[in-house]
Amino acid sequence: MKKEALAQEYAHFAEEIQAAVARVLASGRYILASEVEAFEAEAAAYLGVRYAIGCNSGTDALLLSLLACEIGPGDEVITSPFSFFATAATISRVGATPVFADIDPRTFNLDPARVAELITSRTRAIIPVHLFGQAADMTEFRRLADEHGLLLIEDAAQAFAARWAGQPVGTFGDLAAFSFYPTKNLGACGDAGLVTTNHPELARRVRILRQQGVDGLRYHHELMGINSRLDELQAAILRVKLPHLADLNAKRHLVAAIYDAGLAAVAGVCPPYVHPQATHIYHQYTIRTPYRDELRRFLADCGVETDVYYPVLLPDQPAYRNARYPFRTGPLPEARRATREVLSLPISPYLPHDQAEMVAERIKTFLTTRNGAVPLVAPNGKQESALSVAKS
C-alpha cells in the first residue's frame, strides 16, 4: 500500500518533478545551492517562522538542534517513550540523558503533567513529539519551558502543517525538527529534513553545524559539526510538492472522515481523538483496540495492510539495555498500554474511498462477531463505549 501510494504520488507530479530534476542536473550545482535556498525560504513562509535550514534527514534535524543548543553530558532532556527511535537516540548521541515521561492516552502525545513531575536541576530541554500528525499541547509545553528556564525543541517529523491553537507546529519551540522521508505528508524522493527557529543565533549555528562546522571560510571549522547537507535534487522535488500540500492533506482528511464514520459506534475500537485546539494532518490514522493482534491478522487475511507504530517503548529498546547509554524514566502505564493496542490503518491522499469504507466494514465485522467482545477500558478505569472514550 505504501509503495503504491508513493508511485501514485510520483505519477501525479511526474511532469513537474522531471522538469525540476532536469533543471538541477543542468545547473551542475547539487548541494546547498539555489534550490535549497528557495525551499528554505518557501518552507519558512509556509510555516510563518523566521528561519528554516535544510539538512539530510529528520534525525539530523533533531541532532543539529541539540548540538546548536550545546546540550551534552550531564544534561537531561525529557521526551516521549512512544515515538520513533531517533527522538531518544539523538539525545544519547550528544551524550545527554533522555528522561521518559508518560503520554496522554487519548492523543498519544507527551503529557505535560507527567513532564512537570520529572523536571530536575539537570533538565535542560523538553522535546514533545507531534505524533502521527497531531499537534501536541504547545501551550503547556511553552509554559513549562518558560517557567523552568528550559529549552523547547519540537519533534515535528510527522507533522509538517499541523497546528496548535491555529499556529503551525515548528513555531513554538526554540527549535523544531521536520522530516521529509518519502512516506511523510510532504515527502522527498529520499532522505531530507529541516530545522526551524525564530532565533538568529541558533539559525546561524545550525547552518554552520550542518556543514562540518564551517562558517564561510573553507577548511576553517568554527564548531564540531557534521555532514548533513540537503541536496538540490530533494529540495527541488519538495518545492514541487509544497504548494499542493494543503490539497493533499485535505484528501487525507476525507479518508479519515470515512474511517471515523464507519467506526464511530463500534464497541471495542477507538478512532483517533483530536484535541479541540489541535489539527491532525493524519500522517497516520491510528486506532486502538484491546484485540489489536487478532484484528491485524484478520485484516491481513482480507488483504488489508496495517502497521504498528510503535510496538516497543524507547526505554525498552536493546540499545538502552547497554549501560553506555543511560536514561531515566517515570511510570509509563499509558505508553505501555498503547504499545499493545495501537494499529495504523491505510491512509494516503490516493486511497480510494470505497477501499476505506471496506476497511472500516471489515473492522466492524470482526469486532461485532468476535466471541466475547467487550468495550474498551477508558482512561478513568470505567468500561465505556469506544465512542464515549473517543469524545472524552
Task: Look up residue 135 and give its DSSP letter.
Answer: P
Indicate if 104 and 61 belong to the same structural domain.
yes
The percentage of the chain sitting over the pLDDT mark of 70, rounded to a whole number, equals 94
pLDDT for the residue 112: 98
Indicate if 233 and 367 belong to the same structural domain.
no
Name the least confident of 60-74, 133-147, 256-270, 364-378: 364-378
Query: Which of residues 177, 211, 244 is at a domain's end?
Result: 244
Indicate if 39 and 164 belong to the same structural domain.
yes
Those residues whose C-beta lies under 8 Å from the C-beta of residue 329, and which sit 6 or more positions away, are: 81, 99, 100, 315
Predicted TM-score (pTM) of this structure: 0.93
Name the least confident of 135-144, 170-179, 295-304, 379-388: 379-388
Residue predicted with more confidence, 322 or 32: 32
Indicate if 260 and 366 belong to the same structural domain.
yes
Whole-angstrom distance, CA of residue 322 vs CA of residue 98: 14
Query: Which of residues 205, 224, 244 is at a domain's end?
Result: 244
User: Which of 290, 308, 291, 293 shows the shortest CA–CA distance to 377?
Assistant: 290
The number of folded domains in the chain is 2
Indicate if 136 and 234 belong to the same structural domain.
yes
Indicate if 304 and 281 belong to the same structural domain.
yes
Tell me the mean pLDDT in the region 352-376. Answer: 84
User: Which of 174, 157, 184, 169 shows the shortest CA–CA distance to 77?
Assistant: 174
Burial of 167 (0-12, 13-18, 19+ CB in 10 A): middle
The C-alpha angle with vertex 90 and arms to 216 and 333, in degrees rounded to 5, equals 155
Q: Are strands 193-197 and 51-55 parallel, antiparallel or unpaired?
A: antiparallel
Residue 323 banded pLDDT, cuts 50, 70, 90: confident
Would you say residue 377 has pLDDT above 80? no
Q: At what angle do helices 232-241 and 2-27 cross, to 10 degrees?
A: 120
The percentage of the chain sitting over the pLDDT mark of 90, rounded to a whole number, equals 90
pLDDT for the residue 309: 98
pLDDT for the residue 370: 81
Residue 1 banded pLDDT, cuts 50, 70, 90: low
Tell me the mean pLDDT in the region 326-351. Answer: 98
Residue 216 banded pLDDT, cuts 50, 70, 90: confident
Residue type for position 205: R
Query: Which of residues 207, 223, 244 is at a domain's end?
Result: 244
Indicate if 34 and 108 belong to the same structural domain.
yes
Indicate if 234 and 367 belong to the same structural domain.
no
pLDDT for the residue 369: 86
pLDDT for the residue 373: 46
Residue 388 banded pLDDT, cuts 50, 70, 90: very low
Averaged pLDDT of the chain: 94
Tell me the mean pLDDT in the region 176-201. Answer: 98
Would you say residue 202 has pLDDT above 50? yes
Indicate if 249 and 151 belong to the same structural domain.
no
Indicate if 217 and 270 belong to the same structural domain.
no
Burial of 13 (0-12, 13-18, 19+ CB in 10 A): middle
Number of neighbours of residue 39 by Cβ within 10 angstroms: 24
Chain-centre distance for alpha carbon 117: 24
Q: Which residue has the cell 513532564?
A: 115
Tell me the mean pLDDT in the region 62-79. Answer: 98
Tell me the mean pLDDT in the region 138-158. Answer: 98
Contact (CB, 8 A) for 161 and 187: no
Would you say residue 375 has pLDDT above 60? no
Those residues whose C-beta lies under 8 Å from the C-beta of residue 365, and which sit 6 or more positions away, are: none
pLDDT for the residue 381: 40
Name the least confident of 100-104, 268-272, 352-356, 378-382: 378-382
Indicate if 54 and 201 belong to the same structural domain.
yes
Which CATH number covers residue 347? 3.90.1150.10
- Torsion, CA 131, CA 156, CA 65, CA 336, rounded to 10: 0
Write out pLDDT tens, residues 28-49: 999 999 999 999 999 999 999 9
Task: Look up residue 230 and give its DSSP letter.
Answer: P
Whole-angstrom distance, CA of residue 270 vs CA of residue 267: 8
Would you say residue 353 has pLDDT above 90? yes
Name the least confident of 207-211, 251-255, 323-327, 333-337: 323-327
pLDDT for the residue 2: 79
User: Which of 203, 179, 199 shows the shortest CA–CA distance to 191?
Assistant: 179
- C-alpha distances in Å from residue 353, one per residue of 231, 272, 357: 36, 18, 6
Indicate if 106 and 185 belong to the same structural domain.
yes
Would you say residue 262 has pLDDT above 60? yes
Residue 322 banded pLDDT, cuts 50, 70, 90: confident
pLDDT for the residue 299: 97
pLDDT for the residue 372: 53
Whole-angstrom distance, CA of residue 171 vs CA of residue 180: 18
Would you say residue 378 has pLDDT above 70? no
Contact (CB, 8 A) for 287 and 256: no
Strand ranges (E), 120-227: 123-127, 151-155, 163-164, 167-168, 175-179, 193-197
Q: Output the nine-digit C-alpha cell for 2.
A: 505504501
Domain range spanning residue 216?
A: 2-244
User: Which of 346, 340, 335 shows the shortest CA–CA distance to 284?
Assistant: 346
Q: Output the nine-digit C-alpha cell for 166.
A: 491555529
